[in-house]
Structure 1
Amino acid sequence: MKNHPEARAQDLKDAFYDTSIKGIICAIGGDDTYRTLPYLLDDKDFINAVQNNPKLFTGFSDTTINHLMFYKLGIGTFYGPNFVCDLAELDKQMLPYTKRAFLKYFEYHNEDCIESSNIWYEERTDFSIDAVGTSRVEHLEEKGYEVLQGKEKFSGRLLGGCLESFYDILTNTRYDNEKAICEKYGIFPTLNEWKNKILFLETCEEKPKPEKFEKELLTLKNAGIFDVISGIIVGKPQDEQYYEQYKEIYCKTIENKDLPIIYNVNFGHAQPKCIIPYGIETEVDLDKKVITLKESIFA
């Protein structure tokens, strides 16, 4: 797979060409999804298939690249469970909160709330066959949603992903050609596209140290999006690593005290996780600490 991004791109093409397939669940995230872009966005047949036969698409982490590609092509996707991390849970069943979220893919809701889980789980360190059937280490959620700054309510359509993926798109830190390829295909949304959006943002399993985290956040700041968005929804850091430090860095780096930020939301690399639907009109009530999707996730 490392040596053949064209084969990975073909898997996605085949899924869209097959009209019997209704949904696509990413296996996992990865770290070089950008290498599939030329094989996808230079293919008019693939673009036509996506736009004329849209499908449910779910995944997170480096899959941010796919989500932004589909956003560019005009279809909504879901920053949500993937196969290896969630459906292939080593315990006897999926984590209950994640399962309830996943089942929403099969239902229709005109309006829905994203509620805080009352339990959070540590990420596993043992993924061997010996771990099959064992439970995760769980903790009572003592904090719930935290308001870092802002008051009353803010609203907008959802757009975002993994902070490390954004950083890789905007720099050449991980791969020396990623920035150029993403710029060629216009993967990072323009400032006009970010205007009045709610940015959802979370950190990956690498658990970036505070110094690196601040550098990543500054890259987004320098891109100008904190000047145009309506607010930020921040995911729970995996294992609550650097939980308090990240809070301080958000407020210090963004500087704009009028920009609302709600923190510790269950999505992305946190366990358990909800689904965040791209492009859906959403309202966040900071006083009540409630996140409400104002239209069906399939709108």
Structure 2
Amino acid sequence: MSSIIVPKALDPGATIAFISPSARLNDQYPAAVLRATAVLKGRGYNVREFYNKDIGIQSSIINRISELRAACLDTKVSAIICTVGGPSFTELLPGLIADTDLHNIIRANPKIVLGASESVDDETLPLAFCIKHLFRAIADREPIGDVSRSPTYAHKHPSWFHDPASIHKTELVPTPGWIWLRPGKAQGRLFGGCLSVMARLNGVRQIVPDWRGRIIFFETATGEKFGSGNPIDRVKAGIADLIAQGVFEDAAGLVVGRPFGYDSTKQREKYISVIKGLLCDGPLSKKEFPILFNVDVGHTTPMVTLPFDALAILDSEKDQFAVQESGVV
């Protein structure tokens, strides 16, 4: 496993950069960007947005690389936040992999980088939960400890997805809670992300992750139809891809985020049956690593922020998922 690069904690008054290295939604949802900026400025931080209008595919690739590079090179920037996720970040990888000067700069002066799979709703409770656990991960030098659980969640997209100017509060429903799909106890370093992206990363030989001994976490994207969850056949295919690539051969444990669009008991059972059928039955049943389902990560609101490479534990007997190290120094 490669050496871990740990950035400095976000200090009061620091500068945070907004970038969009995949989907380009800043100009479509300016009100949402302004609200996010206001939240951070209200906590005393400075915010800079790195965004240039695209005029084509190659223009977009050049823009996104230059924006990311500029944010990394700016000595006043302490943290970089991706404003939204999306499927097209791999377009940047050939350029970024070849940019050895940038690699050296990042190693010499690492910054906090926050990925994104879903944007935060503006309802008071979800926003407060997200902000609390975001800064717990990037501004607190103490270990996160037990991962928190929100008592409610938003089962629909925020209203501004279909009306950019809307500030209508999203309906909240009770959270079903954690479900241990396989019991056990494990310790390992956290690594993972969106299921479809994880499978794609294993196809880029220069950056194939080392999955050995990890507590892996994954979550699934929304479906192509507005308001829908990721189709169950794609979920099954994504997990099968990771199995075929050997990701779970030496896994210490698995954490699965609450899947968007799977809100009824019947829908959740369908999702769970795929995980059990592929990971708890058949050859991988002998691995016996614990599997925890329905954690507040990924395409869900609200969510906790998990630090990559931080040491974590899973313990079904204690009903515990805890991060034992800080993600910053």
Task: Pick the TM interval, shorter chain.
Answer: 0.7 to 0.9
Q: Does 1:289 align with 2:316?
A: no
Q: Does 1:150 align with 2:183?
A: yes
**1-structure distance, mates of 2:295, 2:89:** 25
**2-structure distance, mates of 1:243, 1:96:** 27
| Equivalent residue number for residue 66 of structure 1 | none
SS in 1 for 2:261: helix
Q: 1:251 to 1:92 in 2, by over 3 A?
A: closer
Q: CA deviation at 1:92?
A: 6.2
Alignment equivalent of 1:273, drawn from 296, 303, 316? 303
Q: What TM-score does the superposition give when structure 2 sets the normalisation length?
A: 0.73
Alignment equivalent of 2:78, drawn from 18, 22, 34? 22
| Equivalent residue number for residue 37 of structure 1 | 93
SS in 1 for 2:177: coil
Q: 1:132 to 1:208 in 2, by over 3 A?
A: closer
Alignment equivalent of 2:239, drawn from 217, 231, 246? 217
Letter in 2 for 1:205: T
- Contact 1:90–1:131 (Cα < 8 Å) also in 2: no
| Equivalent residue number for residue 195 of structure 1 | 212
**2-structure distance, mates of 1:110, 1:209:** 36
**1-structure distance, mates of 2:191, 2:122:** 31
Cα offsets for 1:34-71 (capped at 9, x unmatched)? 1111221211221111111100110233xxxxxxxxxx
- Contact 1:157–1:282 (Cα < 8 Å) also in 2: yes
Task: Decide which structure has greater helix share.
Answer: 1
| Equivalent residue number for residue 264 of structure 1 | 294
Q: Does 1:134 align with 2:151?
A: no
Give the percent of matched residue pairs that are identical in Structure 1 and Structure 2: 24
- Contact 2:81–2:115 (Cα < 8 Å) also in 1: yes
SS in 1 for 2:146: strand
Q: CA deviation at 1:123?
A: 2.9
| Equivalent residue number for residue 155 of structure 2 | 122
Q: CA deviation at 1:278?
A: 0.5
Alignment equivalent of 1:163, drawn from 195, 199, 224? 195
- Contact 2:297–2:303 (Cα < 8 Å) also in 1: yes
Q: 1:19 to 1:113 in 2, by over 3 A?
A: same
Q: 1:14 to 1:140 in 2, by over 3 A?
A: same
Q: What TM-score does the superposition give when structure 1 sets the normalisation length?
A: 0.80
**1-structure distance, mates of 2:201, 2:317:** 35
Q: CA deviation at 1:259?
A: 2.2
| Equivalent residue number for residue 272 of structure 2 | 247
| Equivalent residue number for residue 100 of structure 1 | 132
**2-structure distance, mates of 1:129, 1:252:** 40
**1-structure distance, mates of 2:163, 2:173:** 24
Q: Unmatched 5+ residue regions in structure 2?
A: 1-53, 224-228
Q: CA deviation at 1:113?
A: 1.5
Q: Unmatched 5+ residue regions in structure 1?
A: 62-81, 171-178
Matched positions, count: 258
Task: After TM superposition, list the pairs within 5 Å mapping 1:13-92 onto structure 2.
Answer: 13-61=69-117, 85-86=119-120, 89-91=121-123
